[in-house]
Amino acid sequence: MGQTITEKIFSQHAGREVTAGEIVRVDIDMIIGNDITTPISIRAFEESGAEKLAKDNFCIVLDHYIPAKDIASANQAKISRNFAYKHDLKYFFDEKDMGIEHALLPEKGLVIPGDVIIGADSHTCTHGALGAFSTGMGSTDISFGMITGGNWFKVPETIKVILTGEPSKHIYGKDIILELIRKIGVDGALYKAIEFTGDTIPHLNMADRFSICNMVIEAGAKNGIIAVDEVTQSYLKERIVANDGLRDEPIIHHSDIDADYCQVIEIDVANLSPVVAYPFLPSNGKSIEQAVADDLEIDQVMIGSCTNGRIEDLRIASEIMKGKRVARHTRMIVTPATQKILLQAQHEGLIEILIEAGAVVSNPTCGACLGGYMGILGDGERCVATTNRNFVGRMGARTSEIYLANSAVAAASAIAGKIVDPREI
């Protein structure tokens, strides 16, 4: 029996052939922490008596509450900073080189195909878009990796998702993943790998692929993964060179023809409409036609996050909003995912278009997405967001509502002051 990509990655790291269901101990290639989760890992690391990191592969990205929003968040960041300086971390990113971790690390060329990556953030699965096994773990699991250089895993079974057809206008990776979650539910892939294949894949840019893998956790998946192809290679070529030889050469895996999958799901992308996930679950997906019929007025639009804060998202929004204005009763927040994306958007004139349309552009931060700061919702307010979760109280008041959508839907809705179909703008 052949192997899936995920099984091959674990086999390569274990030094023997492994199959789904086995529990294996493997070395970790990259360990990621942020300003919320890292202090817990640091405390466990120090309480263990460890004096040095097992490997030079621990990365801290301060991105949730940076610049600090209050004394508590400043002290959280201080713990991470002190640890980074004490251990002379090679991979430490704060205000001087800002970015949301799951956009910043691929941008830096620090995510390599064939890697095993863990991070104390559930959306660490984003990096599977580059052909790596990448998953979120708890802060104490992260500290175990810091101390030993490895960790234990149960090799997950794999769900194969076959995407067919070329996406039509204003259909993006966000719509594909929302449609999958709508089909299988928020627990439809518990501790499973989700491998995306099919003739749609070559039509998807890396931004689409990152969005898809980012949200597999919303279906309960352990990881999402897409095989390396020419699109991936083109993205990596510039970035692996740019990282100045900090990482090893990639090891590229593809699933065997006779690989064993626990489930196969097909999605007809060619006939897909933009999908909007209604409150209060990412699985509560409706077609844009239904959302338009429901005539949903909105108070806020948020474009950004590790899911949809890339340059492609800002281009999509700017194309729609050029020469137009945000509706009077609606406010719009745009959060580029990294400083590099912000600078590129300025260079391309996108920031000017967005600000002239009435949007406020912030520094890179997770703040609004997790209801931390920079965009909190008040009682009863309704928001269209390009983020990944719409749970009760996720972005503020428990009576507020979040509708998840792609960047085109978000931008068009900001102009109209209600959810509309961007294809009609």
Domains 5-267 and 276-420 share a fold: yes
CA 270 to chain centre: 24
Q: What is the pLDDT of residue 249?
A: 75
Q: What is the pLDDT of residue 172?
A: 97
Report d(CA 239, CA 301) in Å as an integer. Answer: 32
What is the mean pLDDT, run by run of 10 residues, along the chain of 425 residues?
A: 95 96 96 95 95 93 94 95 95 94 94 95 97 96 96 97 97 98 96 98 98 98 97 88 61 94 98 97 97 97 97 98 97 97 97 97 93 94 97 94 98 98 92
CB atoms within 10 A of CB 53: 17
Q: What is the pLDDT of residue 248?
A: 65
Task: Give me the residues paired with residue 403 across strands.
Answer: 384
Nearest to 133 by CA among 56, 30, 206: 30
Specify the CATH number for 276-420; select among 1.25.40.10, 3.30.499.10, 3.40.50.620, 2.40.50.140. 3.30.499.10
Q: What burial class does residue 293 get, using C-beta atoms within 10 Å of its C-beta: 0-12 exposed, 13-18 middle, 19+ buried?
A: exposed
Q: Residue 9 to residues 12, 22, 23: CA-CA distances in angstroms?
A: 5, 13, 14
* pTM for this entry: 0.94
Report d(CA 43, CA 236) in Å as an integer. Answer: 35
Residue for token pair 């690390």: 105
Helix, coil or strand: residue 172: coil
The two beta strands, 150-154 and 23-27, are: antiparallel
Helix, coil or strand: residue 310: coil
Q: What burial class does residue 47 get, using C-beta atoms within 10 Å of its C-beta: 0-12 exposed, 13-18 middle, 19+ buried?
A: exposed
SS3 readout for 44-66: HHHHCCCCCCCCCCEEEECCCCC
Specify whether the CB–CB gap between 380 and 298 falls below 8 A: no
Q: What is the pLDDT of residue 425?
A: 81
- Cα torsion 55, 73, 103, 227 to 10°: value is 60
Task: Give me the residues paired with residue 27 across strands.
Answer: 150
Please state which architecture CATH assigns to domain 5-267: 2-Layer Sandwich (3.30)
Q: Where are the domains of the chain?
A: 5-267, 276-420
Task: Give me the residues paired with residue 33 across strands.
Answer: 60
Report the amino acid identity of residue 210: F
Q: Which residues contact 347 (CB under 8 A, 6 or more apart)?
A: none
